[in-house]
Amino acid sequence: MTDGHTGNGGGIMQSVLVGAPDPEIVMLEAQLRAAQLTADVAALGALIADDLLFAGPDGQLVTKAQDLEAHAGGVVRFLAHDPIELQVRRIGPDVAAVSLRTALVVSVGGEHVRGTYRYTRVWARHGQQVWHIVAGHVSAA
């Protein structure tokens, strides 16, 4: 049984996976979801590349520092994050593209935003180092 926020490891993400299995990337997506829901800035910082290139739903680019500050300060607060569909495509042993469709309720500056959104993320690692999100985009789906 899950607590409704952090899920059960990769279980909730695994349950919505479409296509070939990829336990490593599915677990990273589950860790990211848990960190978003709990505003765990340390965990988010460990998952996001320092030179992140991310476009928000308004088309504006967001840096890692801006993203972490928004979570730390409570400007952005994930209230619900219910994955609907996850697809993973390996580009090579050290790069993966992810598409996640999810139902969200997010408090942004105190205003609740609800809807279905699609995230596209690129996970990469150099050599056998730690995986990081190096690029991404989110938009209404």
Give the pLDDT confidence of 28-47 residue by residue, as tens digits.
999 999 999 999 999 999 99
| pTM strictly above 0.75 | yes
- What does CATH list as the number for 11-140? 3.10.450.50
Q: Residue 105 contacts by C-beta under 8 Å, 6 or more apart in sequence?
A: 78, 79, 80, 112, 113, 114
CA–CA gap between residue 55 and residue 52 (Å, rounded): 10
CA–CA gap between residue 101 and residue 120 (Å, rounded): 9
pLDDT tens-place string over residues 93-132: 999 999 999 999 999 999 999 999 999 999 999 877 899 9
